[in-house]
């Protein structure tokens, strides 16, 4: 079969279809990755722990999930290198002492533990 039998735009259509298929696949992969991060509803802080071998504050919250499949659902971690570590630590201590509810955003894993990226303090 000779390529001259087909109009030139047929090959362009085939290439465009393949590119669209690849783009759809990439969009699906990116959206699945973005959906992995999670929001944690406002709840009580049950336990705060600095534990040797971990590079951050371990937090036991009323609602424990593992949206990124880190492997642990018993704690969240606030990494020491978080840009607002000191402020968030102070907020968590105050919330736990006053019995206020705290919400989190979780994204990624640190040392196999879901990592806290954002913290909110709920008014009761």
Contacts of 94 (CB under 8 A, 6+ apart): 100
The CA-based angle 51-85-79, given to 5 degrees, is 45
CATH number for the segment(s) 39-121? 2.40.50.50
pTM: 0.69
Structure confidence at residue 70 (pLDDT): 95
* Amino acid 17: pLDDT: 62
Cβ-contact 106, 38 below 8 angstroms? yes
Q: Where are the domains of the chain?
A: 7-34, 39-121
Residue 65: predicted pLDDT: 92
HEC readout, the chain: CCHHHCCHHHHHHHHHHHHHHHHHHHHHHHHHHHCCCEEEEEECEEEEEECCCCCEEEEEECCCCCCCCCCCCCCEEEECCCCCHHHHHHHHHHHHHHCCCEEEEEEEEECCEEEEEEEEECCC
Write out pLDDT tens, residues 4-40. 565 665 666 666 565 555 555 545 444 333 334 788 8
Express each pLDDT in 66-111 by its tens digit. Answer: 999 999 999 999 999 999 999 999 999 999 999 999 999 999 999 9
């Amino acid at each position: 079969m000779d390529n001259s039998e087909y109009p030139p735009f047929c090959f362009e259509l085939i290439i465009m279809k393949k590119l669209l298929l690849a783009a759809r696949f990439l969009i699906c992969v990116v959206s699945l990755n973005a959906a992995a991060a999670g929001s944690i509803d406002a709840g009580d802080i049950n336990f705060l722990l600095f534990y040797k071998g971990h590079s951050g504050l371990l937090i036991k919250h009323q609602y424990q999930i593992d949206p990124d499949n880190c492997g642990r659902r018993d704690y969240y971690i606030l990494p020491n290198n978080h840009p607002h570590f000191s402020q968030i630590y102070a907020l968590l201590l105050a919330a736990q002492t006053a019995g206020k509810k705290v919400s989190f955003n979780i994204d990624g894993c640190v040392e196999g533990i879901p990592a806290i990226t954002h913290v909110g303090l709920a008014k009761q």
